[in-house]
Structure 1
Amino acid sequence: MTSPNEQPTLMQVLREAGAAVRVFDMGRRVSTLTSDEFERIEEARTPYPTPFLHHAWLGILIWHPKQPAQNAIWFLKLPLDEQGYLVQAARDDLVSRLLLNAVNSQQGALEEDALKDNPYSFKPEQEKMAIFHARAAQATSAPASAYYEAAQQYINGSMPLDRWADLALQGLADLVVRLDDNSPALAARIPEMPEPVLASIATLLEHVTPPVAVRDALAARLAGALTEGEEKALLVAALIRGLSNVADERFKQQQVLLVLQSEHALEAEVIVATATRCSSALQAPEVLLPFLERLAQGKAGQAGFSRVLADLMFMPAQRALIMQAFRSPERSEQLSKAIGEMFGQTFTRH
């Protein structure tokens, strides 16, 4: 318990409400944060591990096994300082608002209404919301959604390929988080899957680690898409996202290099997907410099170059590698010009 004059942490507030809690990172991909990790982040003992657009994006699942009516889901977006630590004033303000709303509510419970008119709340995009709900069901031992069965029928071949429009995004998310049961059928279906449903599944797969068979099937579709025109840019972006969380880092680097060697890398959707989802692959110098060159040449222009780099350089490890690549004697005149536009011409002369 906290003393009367001490501001409690968010985790303390939740625990004192008697709730079971699961915290998810909702930024670049949906992943679990342990309670210990979150407490260290809350207390500014460690920087946020995966910042996105200078914020921590959180999904908090709150459930009461004995009082399910009090279950709640909160989506919170909290600012980070220049070193990636949670801004304590914002965290304190959030907790104060939550406590005030809880006191004003009829039961004093920390329900979803506690976020009413809260400036730190946000609504995730549909794909992340679907994955979150699929993960939340697993965490609470709840069954998958009613849409899961149709998704299974589709990948098992008992539903025609052209019936993909009958599938719900939630059903596909339930399938993706249950790959232990579904990966052989999914891998077998990917080669012939129509592009709209393939893109949806690939985008969902970035939130899990796809098994080798699924990974290889996605890579084969990516290789095919890279031989076609710019109208395939959205599919290429989705496929590189689907491959962004594979276990084999070298394999991932090879896929990113294939994309960077294609004209698709000039398209904003493709270069942004590569930057935001495959940042670990960009830690290899032989991948990072071609990425920077393509970024400088891209159709999004100088504004796109600056925005993407500002986000990447917010991560300390990535920042050091990018600064090193900027000084490579192999950089092109076009890349030097883009760097000069972003940081000033004196930077490129050092």
Structure 2
Amino acid sequence: MSDIPSLVEFLRQSDTQLRIFDMGRRVSKISAETFNKVEQAQVPYPAPFMHHAWIALLMWNPKLKDQNVVWFLKLPLDEQGYLVQAARDDFMNRLFQNISNMMSGDSDSAKKDALQDNPFSFKPEQEKMAIFHAHATLAIGQPASQYYEYSQQYFAGQMGFDQWQALGYQGIADLVIRHEKGRNSEIMAAAIAQLPPEPYEVLCTCLENIEPDHKLFAALSKRMLVSLQDDATTANHVAAQIRGISNAHNEEAKRDLLLAVLATPHAQEAEVLAAIATRCSISLRFPELLKPYLEALAAGKSGQVGFSRILADLMFMPDLRALILHVFRNPDRSEKLSEAIGQMFGGNLS
């Protein structure tokens, strides 16, 4: 660890309140204590995605909640998932330099402009921005967006479920992130069986960012099993539903649903395979799911390129790497999987 102070320590020197979010596979909270340990290379980053830590730092003054500042950072990780210290030091040096150059102005302006021309900053996609905004307003104690109330009314069936065109993505995001408020979770669970495909898919992509309660998970599971029996169900619809159940607490039930997906032709579709890999990596720790998933990936329509890209990301997680290598060395693996492994590793699995 270098002598440069950690980002968390630096930000805590002022009266600023700090909240940290992971912005990689899904939007989720990270404690400042955990991230401080990550910064000091004491622990690996808990949610690596594409070999990076994708984070958002929300800063605000409790007395001036409408004057908040957000930083989005993409920091490289080493092969073991630890923050690359040289990159962290480079980021901090650039940050200090920018702030020093701007200190002639007010401190809030300095914070807002501190990432100017910084190669470690990034702009999240619109979908994640909506979820982050819902998290941020809830954390600061600000009201939800203007679309929130309409979303509540729609999912409660007050508008008619065919009137989904006026829904805003931000309103659905607000409803999902506020699922513990009032009857929001109950309202969503009751609506799921009746929703048209379009709003249902949007709801599922938002639900990946929370841990649904048992009623909400039960409703998602029931509709998912029904849809898998319908020849008209699209791969995009299946992928969205995988995302919807991905953060559920019941790992065994979730595993069974994913096995049901892998038993259908949808298992060859790139979007379905990617949804399982990026959102359900914890479930892949079940050997009884991992092997059929790898077999499906090898036979998938995305071909060798898709196989290699997904495996490169999954094997970046130390716990999954050992399990994947164990499957790769299984003499009962299919010829298709053996061929894909050979092309990716050149026969070397060390």
| TM tier relative to shorter chain | over 0.9
Partner secondary structure for residue 18 of structure 2: strand
Please name the residue that 1:275 is paired with. Answer: 277
Q: How far, CA to CA, are the matches of 2:219 and 2:233 in structure 1?
A: 21
SS at structure 2 position matched to 1:74: strand
Q: Is the 8 A contact 2:227 2:233 kept in 1?
A: no
Which residue of structure 1 lines up, in the alignment, with residue 5 of structure 2? 8
Q: Which residue of 2 aligns with 1:138?
A: 138
Q: Report the CA distance between 1:330 and its aligned residue.
A: 2.0
User: Which residue identity is paired with 2:150?
Assistant: A
Q: What is the aligned partner in structure 2 of residue 107 from structure 1? A: 106
Supply the AA of the counterpart residue of 2:79.
Answer: E
Q: Superposed, which structure 2 residues align to 1:251-330 within 5 Å?
A: 251-330=253-332
Tell me which residue corresponds to 2:201: 199
Partner of 2:176: 176
Please state whether the residue corresponding to 1:179 is helix, strand or coil. coil
In 1, Cα distance between equivalents of 2:307 and 2:165: 36
Q: Secondary structure at the match of 1:28?
A: coil
2:65/2:140 contact within 8 Å kept: no
Name which of 18, 21, 25 aligns with 1:24: 21
Q: Determine which of 57, 60, 63 is the counterpart of 1:63.
A: 60
Query: Does the CA contact (< 8 Å) of 2:75 and 2:83 recur in 1?
Result: yes
Q: Which residue of 2 aligns with 1:238?
A: 240
Superposed displacement of residue 70, structure 1 = 4.6
- Residue 35 of structure 1: how far off its partner (Å): 1.1
Question: Is 1:312–1:319's contact at 8 Å kept on the other side of the alignment?
Answer: yes
Displacement of 1:15 after TM fit?
1.2
The answer to whether the 8 A contact 1:210-1:246 is kept is yes
The structure whose residues are more often helix, as a share, is 1
User: Does structure 2 retain, via aligned residues, the 8 Å contact 1:60–1:73?
Assistant: yes
Counterparts of 1:152-231 in structure 2, within 5 Å, are: 152-180=152-180, 181=182, 182-229=184-231
Provide the rounded CA distance (Å) in 1 between the counterparts of 2:96 and 2:66: 19
Scaled by the length of structure 2, the TM-score of the pair is 0.94
Are residues 174 and 70 of structure 1, via their aligned partners in 2, closer, same or farther at CA, if it must alter by over 3 Å?
Answer: closer
Query: In structure 2, how many angstroms separate the alpha carbons of the residues matched to 1:69 and 1:162?
Result: 36
The match for 2:85 is 88
Letter in 1 for 2:158: S
C-alpha distance in 2 between matches for 1:164 and 1:67: 36
d(CA) in 1 for partners of 2:93, 2:15: 18
Match of 1:331 among 321, 325, 333: 333
Contact 1:225 1:232 in 2 (8 A): no
How far apart, CA to CA, are the structure 1 residues paired with 2:192 and 2:63? Answer: 42
Q: Secondary structure of the equivalent of 1:272?
A: helix
The alpha carbon displacement at 1:93 in A equals: 1.4
Unpaired runs of at least 5, structure 2: none
Unaligned runs of 5+ in 1: none
Q: Quick one: distance in 1 between partners of 2:189 and 2:66?
A: 40
Q: TM-score, normalised by structure 1?
A: 0.94
Structure 2 CA distance, aligned partners of 1:33 and 1:69?
A: 23
Sequence identity, in percent? 53
Q: Secondary structure at the match of 1:57?
A: strand
Q: Which residue type is aligned with residue 50 of structure 1?
A: A
The alignment's C-alpha RMSD in Å is: 1.6
State the alpha-carbon separation in 2 of the partners of residues 253 and 112 from structure 1: 43
Q: How many residues align?
A: 344
Deviation at 1:227, TM superposition (A): 2.5
Distance 2:270 2:232 in 1: 11
Structure-2 residue corresponding to 1:248: 250
The verdict on how the C-alpha distance between 1:346 and 1:6 changes in structure 2, with shifts beyond 3 A counting, is closer
- After superposing the two structures, state which structure 1 stretch, 140-149 or 257-266, moved more: 140-149
